[in-house]
Amino acid sequence: MTDSPAAALDRLLRGTVDCVSRDELAQKLERSAKTGVPLRIKAGFDPTAPDLHIGHAVLLMKLREFQELGHRVLFLIGDFTGMIGDPTGRSDIRKPLTTEEIAANAATYAAQVFRILDREKTEVVFNSHWMSALGTEGMIRLAARQTVAHFLDRDDFKNRMEKGVAIHLHELLYPLIQGYDSVAIRADVELGGTDQLFNLLVGRDLQRSYGQEPQVVLSLPLLVGTDGEKKMSKSLKNAVGILDPPSEMFGKLMSIPDSATASYALLLTSFSEESIARAHPREAKAQVAEAITARFHGEESAAKAHEEFDRQFSRREVPTEIAPFAVAPPHPARLSTVMVAAGAARSESQAKQLIRAGAVDLDGGAVSDIFCEVRPSGQILRVGKRFYCRLVPG
């Protein structure tokens, strides 16, 4: 560890919202520096979907900072809690996952997280390992360490009670089990989103009751999606996936509102707020988009994606690489039908709306006839700003 404890503290607190508490984190960092014993840094992820997005990367990158300072990350996959469903931020009950769904989703996580985390300083753990061993008696004894009143005081439960929406008993177990995870792995620090603060603090309470030194809690902001309004989520279709190809990732990042650029820069890059504020909004966004894309795909691929974006949108040029689409017989084919088959429109009616709106052209010529037919021979079909394909006979 080359950073002094004071410098490490400043670095680790950059971009965080809550720290409970700063003094305790400083003491842990100083003790680790003196003894050479790395801190155990916990972050839990329920395998609710197979793919991670860059909203998850906010947390992963902070974990990587701890690793760069010499500490060890416990990447916890909540295969047991996934069967309950996290009630955080919910106005209704969350559908629990099946064992098969959990296993399938968890299997894809490692390949994604190690694009950011240092494999040598990461331990992947599953909370079913200790929760299954706890048994019924152990669960009852664990539940005796917290009160119902304390759990019902959290905002999401309180709101549901006021609206007359049912709260199921198993939902009260979720923060209890997440807290016990910290006891089981003897976490020194736990990271989570701001919406997880209650659950993270339950971990501190349980560690005290088990005679352990309480973990420090760090919360990080929730990254807004590409719409600039709602929390990034695959289900809301406003997410940028960690596995998105470079050009797609860069393009999605360039679609965020200017007002969100500073937040993306703070949470996902090393750019200072001052440098982003000084730059022209579009240039600032392009710098941030390239930096984020480079983190997942390398600098060369990110630069190429930037150049391709400028070619396609700034200079109105056709992309250099356009995927072919084989148009099935009979030929000629109705263009609106081809657009649906190629994935450029959801339905024939939407395809015709796009044609009427002037959003469709063939080989650079605008199409205005909704009954236009095409005989595929290598023509370039453009729909909107981003969809391109080369029509070939199938």
Q: Worst-scoring range by mean pLDDT, 96-100, 102-106, 161-165?
A: 96-100
List Cα–Cα distances, 220 to 93, 325, 332, in angstroms.
Answer: 25, 43, 55
List Cα–Cα distances, 5 to 27, 31, 66, 72, 243, in angstroms.
Answer: 9, 9, 12, 16, 35
Q: How many domains does the chain have?
A: 3
226 located within any domain: no
Read off the pLDDT of residues 167-215 as tens digits, 9 standing for 90 and up.
877 778 888 889 999 999 999 999 999 988 888 999 999 999 999 999 9
Across the range 240-267, mean pLDDT stands at 89
pLDDT top residue among 96 and 261: 261
Q: Indicate whether 350 and 377 sit together in one domain.
A: yes
8 Å CB contact between 20 and 166: no
Instruction: Give the pLDDT of residue 93.
Output: 47
Read off the pLDDT of residues 296-314 as tens digits, 9 standing for 90 and up.
999 999 999 999 888 776 6
Q: Indicate whether 286 and 349 sit together in one domain.
A: no
Across the range 15-42, mean pLDDT stands at 95
d(CA 146, CA 210): 12
Q: Indicate whether 282 and 378 sit together in one domain.
A: no
122 located within any domain: yes
Q: Indicate whether 216 and 292 sit together in one domain.
A: no
Across the range 339-365, mean pLDDT stands at 91
Residue type, 348: E
Concatenating the DSSP letter of every residue in 119-159 gives: GGGEEEEETHHHHHHHHHHHHHHHHTTS-HHHHHTSHHHHH
pLDDT top residue among 302 and 237: 302
List Cα–Cα distances, 295 to 39, 75, 191, in angstroms.
Answer: 25, 20, 21
181 sits in the region (left: phi over 0; alpha: psi -120 to 50; else beta) called alpha
pLDDT top residue among 394 and 44: 44
241 located within any domain: no
The CATH number given to whatever domain includes residue 356 is 3.10.290.10
Query: Which residues does residue 388 pair with via DSSP β-bridges, in sequence order?
Result: 382
Instruction: Give the pLDDT of residue 90.
Output: 45
233 located within any domain: no
Q: Indicate whether 89 and 159 sit together in one domain.
A: yes
List Cα–Cα distances, 386 to 254, 282, 347, in angstroms.
Answer: 12, 18, 18
Q: Indicate whether 159 and 297 sit together in one domain.
A: no
Domain range enclosing 302: 246-314
Read off the pLDDT of residues 324-338 as tens digits, 9 standing for 90 and up.
999 999 999 999 999
Burial of 338 from C-beta contacts in 10 A (0-12 / 13-18 / 19+): buried
Across the range 17-39, mean pLDDT stands at 95
Average per-residue pLDDT in the chain?
87
The CATH number given to whatever domain includes residue 26 is 3.40.50.620
225 located within any domain: no
Q: Indicate whether 214 and 251 sit together in one domain.
A: no
Q: Indicate whether 211 and 250 sit together in one domain.
A: no
Q: Indicate whether 156 and 195 sit together in one domain.
A: yes
Q: Indicate whether 209 and 124 sit together in one domain.
A: yes
